[in-house]
């Protein structure tokens, strides 16, 4: 029997497509089942939030979108649960500690190794979880403007073998199956253990302050001169981090 929680079937793989999220959304609108997975070797229009681009040289990254139905209240913490699962999969495969930059960028050695894009229509009962993970990317393959802020698993393993994309994908799907349905307290606890920003000075278009963890809804708590504020991931974009760790 195929469990409701089993992710990755059916699977559609593209050598090249515009965006795996776009493909998964279209499959969702046409009735594809819960757990459907779209993967690609390369994307011509891979994107992040607010129209930002996601850059991944062909064959160097894990590019995937997973269709989830009937998440209900799990929807709110999905970006955080996905970040935790990504960390666990990378830590298991590469033996390297990962951190999470609020709300859901995965960092290794304070550089971004993976990004998460959740899109969908919760009111229609579906959500697409998009993940881009830099696996074998070499420094010179990143666009110049990303070389100081991006990394890949191959760049951090120090000569050790990096798991193949298929192996990483399998570990990631299993980690997601566990974390997407995990108790909120467990997801929040695992997220907080990997909080990359806590104690750092953060800047956003409405101000700046010192990051002080997340609340139980996943909002970033920041101590400012005027008191504590809670920033909502859907509304606030942090400016790129500097070296101003408090």
Q: In angstroms, rounded to a whole number, what is the distance separating the alpha carbons of residues 133 and 91?
A: 13
Among 69, 74, 75, 112, binds ligand BT5 (CB under 6 A): 112
Q: In angstroms, rounded to a whole number, what is the distance separating the alpha carbons of residues 38 and 207?
A: 39
Q: Distances from the Cα of 40 to the Cαs of 46, 133, 209, in angstroms?
A: 10, 12, 39
Window 159-188: residues binding ligand BT5 (CB under 6 A): none
Closest contact distance (angstroms) between CB of 23 and ligand BT5 is 8
- 117 near ligand BT5, rule: CB under 6 A: yes
Q: In angstroms, rounded to a whole number, what is the distance separating the alpha carbons of residues 43 and 171?
A: 22
- 11 near ligand BT5, rule: CB under 6 A: no
Q: Which two tokens stand for residue 189?
A: 């606890």
Window 41-60: residues binding ligand BT5 (CB under 6 A): 43, 46-49, 52-56
Q: In angstroms, rounded to a whole number, what is the distance separating the alpha carbons of residues 17 and 23?
A: 8
In the complex with ligand BT5, the residue whose CB is nearer, 21 or 127, is 21
Binding mask 57-96 for ligand BT5 (x = CB under 6 A): ------xxx-------------------------------
Number of other residues whose CB lies within 10 A of the CB of residue 16 = 10
Among 130, 171, 218, 241, binds ligand BT5 (CB under 6 A): 130
Contact of 216 with 183, CB cutoff 8 Å: no
Binding site for ligand BT5 (CB under 6 A): 19-21, 43, 46-49, 52-56, 63-65, 105, 112, 115-117, 130-132, 134, 146, 150
């Amino acid at each position: 029997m195929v469990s409701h929680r089993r992710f990755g079937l059916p699977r559609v793989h593209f050598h090249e497509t515009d965006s795996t999220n776009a493909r998964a959304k279209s499959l969702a609108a046409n009735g594809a089942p819960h757990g459907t997975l779209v993967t690609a070797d390369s994307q011509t229009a891979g994107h992040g939030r607010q129209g930002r681009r996601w850059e991944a040289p062909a064959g160097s990254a894990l590019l995937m979108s997973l269709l989830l139905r009937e998440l209900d209240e799990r929807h709110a913490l999905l970006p955080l649960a996905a970040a935790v699962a990504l960390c666990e999969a990378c830590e298991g495969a590469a033996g390297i500690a990962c951190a999470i930059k609020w709300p859901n960028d995965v960092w290794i050695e304070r550089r971004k190794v993976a990004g998460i894009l959740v899109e969908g229509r919760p009111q229609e009962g579906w959500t697409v979880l998009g993940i881009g993970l830099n696996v074998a990317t070499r420094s010179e393959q990143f666009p110049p403007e990303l070389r100081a802020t991006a990394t890949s698993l191959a760049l951090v393993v120090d000569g050790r073998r990096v798991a193949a994309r298929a192996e990483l994908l399998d570990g990631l799907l299993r980690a997601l199956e566990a974390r997407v349905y995990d108790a909120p307290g467990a997801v929040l606890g695992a997220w907080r253990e990997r909080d990359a920003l806590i104690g750092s000075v953060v800047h956003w278009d409405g101000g700046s302050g010192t990051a002080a963890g997340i609340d139980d809804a996943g909002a970033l708590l920041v101590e400012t001169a005027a008191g504590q504020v809670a920033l909502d991931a859907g509304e606030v974009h942090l400016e790129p981090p500097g070296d101003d760790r408090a």
